[in-house]
Amino acid sequence: MTHVEVESSKEPIRLFKSDFLEFFTHIHPAVVAVIWAPVTVYFIYRAIASRPGGVSPIYIPMALVLGLVLWTLAEYSLHRFVFHFRPRSARQERVSFLFHGVHHAQPMSKTRLVMPPVVSIPLALLFYGLFYLLWSVILRVPHWTAPTFAGFTAGYLAYDMLHYSMHHFKMRGRALQAIRRHHMAHHARTPNLRFGVSTPLWDWVFGTEPT
């Protein structure tokens, strides 16, 4: 089967011989919303409920925005340095294909456009631990942890929903259309550039946006 035939094929590439393992490589975007929308709401609630007395509530929206910005940086970094790392062996090439190469091989595969929970949940725990370490242990302002993490998970949720929409729906509005063109150019012309999906901001900052 040629590369073009693989891209246009409606049959997803099989990644594992085991049906059990193969099951976890497919995810409907609704599952992402079902998991992460309640998590985001919960941490917003925790941020409001645990606000220390005498502290202005303005830090909550500030932390939410900070978490959202940190997500875009994490998204860019994961895409560039993890999903597009250069394999140096056959085994690394296999791992690279499992993580992200399959998406470039079949960018229209509906069940492989969002991050599976077996990947997103451990990553979320890792970042929550980093936020807790920063705010609670180092800076000793623990009330910043919950709203920052809420902004981070909201950014992730928006990213996955946006990514799915880019590949399967017409985007309305100039901003969304520009973001879609940016991502489609990553697929079609510059797979080693344009790593930002929800925003080209970090491509501009780090010089991976073609002039």
Mind listing the pLDDT tens digit for each residue in 135-152?
Answer: 999 999 999 999 999 999
| Alpha helix ranges (H) inside 50-84 | 59-77
The predicted model gives 115-121 an average pLDDT of: 91
User: How far apart (Å, rounded) are the C-alpha atoms in residues 124 and 156?
Assistant: 10
The pLDDT of residue 5 is 40
Of 169 and 134, which is predicted with more confidence? 134
CA pseudo-torsion sign 72, 75, 81, 85: negative
Of 133 and 172, which is predicted with more confidence? 133
The pLDDT of residue 9 is 52
Residue 24 has pLDDT above 60, yes or no: yes
Where does the pLDDT of residue 40 fall: very low under 50, low under 70, confident under 90, or very high at 90 and above? Answer: very high
Where does the pLDDT of residue 181 fall: very low under 50, low under 70, confident under 90, or very high at 90 and above? Answer: very high
- DSSP category for residue 25: T
The pLDDT of residue 154 is 98
Q: What is the mean pLDDT of the chain?
A: 90
Residue 166 has pLDDT above 50, yes or no: yes
Where does the pLDDT of residue 106 fall: very low under 50, low under 70, confident under 90, or very high at 90 and above? Answer: confident
The pLDDT of residue 148 is 98
Q: What angle do CA 13, 17, 23 make, to 5 degrees?
A: 70
The pLDDT of residue 68 is 98
Residue 206, helix vs strand vs coil:
helix
- What are the structural domain ranges in the chain? 29-206
The predicted model gives 95-110 an average pLDDT of: 84
- What are the φ/ψ torsions at residue 17 (nearest 5 degrees)? -70, -35
**Which region among 83-87, 151-155, 176-180 has the lowest average model confidence (pLDDT)?**
83-87
Residue 10 has pLDDT above 80, yes or no: no
The predicted model gives 80-106 an average pLDDT of: 87
pLDDT digits (tens, 9 = 90+) for 43-88: 999 999 999 988 899 999 999 999 999 999 999 999 999 999 888 8
Residue 100 has pLDDT above 90, yes or no: no
